[in-house]
């Protein structure tokens, strides 16, 4: 029996040494995991903050886009009417018999004024279309990043 006690004593001693070494290794691994979890929590908080800011900016951009769309819808009939007037003037000029220099000069100045206004409207519409396209790309990017 003394051999059995010695065996139990020796076995428990070795088990404590192994447990101590495992505890040291386990503590290191657990510490690494805790550090990584803390980093991930900080990243998650930052991502949530940035996503909230992006949502606010997108809501503002969507409001602007709706306003621009309304303005564009409002202006399109006016542009169409001016194009029609311009075409009517072109037809009249083509059909009108030769006039004196004063009348021709006045007619040309009217046509030039209409063409100038028409060009200004086209520039405005092109700018609005570019802005609408940018907002659309922002919206698509937001929905693409929200899906990830």
Model pLDDT, residue 20: 61
- Count of beta carbons in the 10 Å neighbourhood of residue 135: 20
Structure tokens at 62: 């969507």
Structure tokens at 100: 């004196």
Where do the domains of the chain lie? Answer: 2-147
Q: Which residues does the chain have with pLDDT short of 70? A: 1-11, 13, 15-25, 96-99, 146-148
């Amino acid at each position: 029996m003394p051999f059995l006690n010695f065996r139990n004593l020796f076995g428990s001693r070795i088990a404590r040494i192994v447990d101590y070494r495992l505890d040291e290794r386990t503590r290191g691994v657990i510490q690494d995991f805790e550090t990584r979890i803390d980093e991930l929590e900080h990243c998650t908080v930052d991502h949530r903050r940035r996503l909230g800011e992006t949502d606010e900016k997108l809501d503002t951009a969507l409001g602007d886009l709706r306003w621009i769309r309304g303005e564009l819808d409002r202006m399109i009939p006016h542009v169409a009417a001016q194009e029609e007037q311009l075409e009517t003037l072109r037809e009249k000029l083509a059909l009108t018999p030769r006039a004196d220099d004063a009348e021709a000069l006045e007619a040309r100045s009217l046509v030039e004024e209409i063409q100038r206004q028409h060009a200004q409207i086209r520039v405005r519409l092109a700018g609005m279309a570019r802005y609408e396209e940018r907002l659309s790309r922002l919206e698509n990017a937001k929905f693409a990043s929200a899906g990830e």
